[in-house]
Amino acid sequence: MKKIGLYLHFPFCVQKCRYCDFSSWTGKENLMNAYLSALAKELETDQNSKVKAEVSSIFMGGGTPTLFDGEALAKVLDISIKCFNVETDAEISIECNPGTADIEKLRKLYDSGFNRLSIGLQAWQDHLLDFLGRIHRSGQFEDTVNWAKKSGFLNISADVIYGIPGQTLDDWMETLEAAVSYDIKHLSAYSLKVEEGTVFYQWKKQGRFKEMDDDLERQMYHEGIKFLESRGFLQYEISNFAQPGYESRHNLNYWMNGQYIGCGSGAHSYYNNFRRANIASIEEYIKRIENRESVTAYQEAIDRETEIFETLMLGLRLKAGISKKAFADRFGFVLEERYSMEIERLRKQGLLAEDKDSIYPTAKGFDFQNKIALEFLK
């Protein structure tokens, strides 16, 4: 039976971070109960009960899922397990922002079946957290990790950001040093991007936001990789590092262009060659579910050529690259034969490498993903 991921979206936050363009809102706490009922109803739809696949990972993300109480989140997990065929050893992750979960909540989550916690640290220095518009202090990250471990969580991940204006190389290394000192198993490190619709985007338009110099930003990335590898964290994707065996199963499925179902406002799905996005507005999502109307805002059929291109682009974000056998089994042709010229050109530029089993990006290829994409687009 094929394997899929299940994503559940919780679009509520205490405060909007200045860099955030995710589907999340503040000041809508009055809708939280109605949202939970709507989400449960979406999970229980016939469409989901007909899914013929095994769910190997569940990811509750947001927004800030841990704004809900532990009981409510446990109930949503329970409903998900009843509605889908979930593997007994599925990876079950939840995102948590420091300051939104105490030890009782974390204990409840662990006891109800969550086995992976992804904590948004972002930076260790409080002045950078303030600049980013985060609600927490680094001390609250420390509390959250300690409580999570006491509750039973072993698989803990932290998210961090580099390339923040005003951040020094020392700040960045201190953030990484602090994060790994808590014996976490996984780390996602993203370069700050100014996305449309964010506070930083407004500031940039007004000339109030000075982006970090490219050389320093790249230096942070490369020094970060060196440091993390020296501490036993292997880079398995451009921005993701894990101790062996702790790679995120849910995200690996995305990068292997696997299928997934998303429920909740703004959630995306990719199933049976259709990409679908739910309506982003919380109010509209609740209303449509109550009226038994479709919550799909957008859907697109993915043809074979698009699927091939996406599989290449996503797979070449992974250090292991693309397995030649898995590719041939999926598409019925030999990757290195059809794309021999493209692969050769990229190999000559030092961006791709090849062995008997796979084609994978080099360290330089990680820096120039757009060049790889352009080559295959031709």
Q: Which residue ranges make up the site for ligand SF4 (CB under 6 A)?
A: 13, 16-17, 20, 22, 24, 62-64, 97, 120
DSSP string over 202-233? HHHHTT---PPPHHHHHHHHHHHHHHHHHTT-
CA–CA dist 128, 340 (Å, integer): 46
Residue 191: strand pairing partners: 162
Closer Cβ to ligand SF4, 17 or 178, answer by number: 17
Distance in Å, CB of 351 to ligand SF4, minimum: 31
Distance in Å, CB of 62 to ligand SF4, minimum: 5
CA–CA dist 198, 158 (Å, integer): 23
Q: What is the CA radius of gyration of the chain?
A: 21
Distance in Å, CB of 319 to ligand SF4, minimum: 26
Closer Cβ to ligand SF4, 22 or 182, answer by number: 22
CA–CA dist 159, 245 (Å, integer): 18
Task: Tokens for 223, please give them.
Answer: 């020094």
161 and 125 in contact (C-beta within 8 Å)? no
Distance in Å, CB of 28 to ligand SF4, minimum: 12
Closer Cβ to ligand SF4, 163 or 361, answer by number: 163
Q: What is the DSSP letter of 29?
A: G
The rounded Cα 201 to chain-centroid distance in angstroms is 22
Closer Cβ to ligand SF4, 93 or 97, answer by number: 97
Checking DSSP bridges between strand 85-96 and strand 116-122, what pairing results, if any?
parallel
Give the closest residue to 33 by CA, choosing from 12, 7, 17: 12
Distance in Å, CB of 14 to ligand SF4, minimum: 8
Q: How many C-beta atoms surround the C-beta of residue 52 within 10 A?
A: 9
154 and 185 in contact (C-beta within 8 Å)? yes
Closer Cβ to ligand SF4, 17 or 58, answer by number: 17
Closer Cβ to ligand SF4, 56 or 251, answer by number: 251
Distance in Å, CB of 17 to ligand SF4, minimum: 3
Closer Cβ to ligand SF4, 83 or 106, answer by number: 106
DSSP string over 68-115? S-HHHHHHHHHHHHHHSEEEEEEEEEEEE-TTS--HHHHHHHHHTT--
Distance in Å, CB of 134 to ligand SF4, minimum: 7
